[in-house]
Amino acid sequence: MWVPAQRACCSASCSIATAWTRWCSRRRSRDYVEARIRAGLLEQGTTEILREAGVGERLEREGLVHGGIYLRFDGGSHHIPMTELTGRTVTIYGQTEIVKDLVAARLEAGLPLKFECPAVAVEGLDQGEPVVRYKCEDEIRELRCDIVAGCDGPWDLPGDDSIRQAQRLGL
């Protein structure tokens, strides 16, 4: 996913709290993106960001807040009282549900969101003028950005050359 705004390119998962996000794209279909199972334990900072971004309504209603966790090892359960130790909590709410909330909010805001438009190249990172080339509707398109962030691991990266270039630049 990339997002140019003030020509910033970024994954939608990174863009929830950014006012400058203007465009998002996913390599897979909307059905796939909204159904792909992901982890569901959210740290308190994540839930705070979602609320601040205006996409925490369902999280508030359906999330399960926990003040601690149990680790099971050596034949027994060992409670870690997080709230007692840190003053913080965790919430059980599937990342798949967060994605659905983000997609709905983006579409409701009338902001562009493209599915099945994979990045095929990222160029210009070392010159400070990044360009993302992506394929959408059987056509190669170009997106000029100030910032590029692939925030969904290998699902958003176009290939080894771009990855090596970003690593070389310390990105």
Instruction: Please answer whether residues 91 and 59 qualify as being in contact, where contact means their C-beta atoms are separated by less than 8 angstroms.
Output: yes
Instruction: Give the torsion through C-alpha atoms of 11, 16, 20, 22, to 10 deg.
Output: 60
Residue 166 in this model has a pLDDT that exceeds 70: no
Lowest mean pLDDT among 68-72, 88-92, 126-130: 126-130
d(CA 108, CA 80): 40
The answer to whether residues 84 and 67 touch, using CB atoms and an 8 Å cutoff, is yes
Radius of gyration of the chain (CA): 18
Q: Which residues of 123-160 are buried (b: 16+ CB within 10 A; e: fewer)?
A: bebeeeebbbebbeeeeeeebebebbbbebeeebbbee
What residues form DSSP beta bridges with 44?
none
pLDDT digits (tens, 9 = 90+) for 130-164: 888 888 889 998 888 877 766 665 555 555 555 55
Query: Which range, 18-22, 27-31, 97-101, has the best average confidence (pLDDT)?
Result: 97-101
Tens of pLDDT, residues 92-124: 998 889 989 988 998 898 887 888 888 888 888
Mean pLDDT in residue range 29-44: 80
Q: Tell me what the mean pLDDT of segment 57-68 comes to.
A: 95
CA–CA dist 90, 102 (Å, integer): 20
Looking at residue 161, its pLDDT comes to 56
What are the backbone angles phi and psi of residue 39, rounded to the nearest 5°? -60, 165
pLDDT at 2: 40
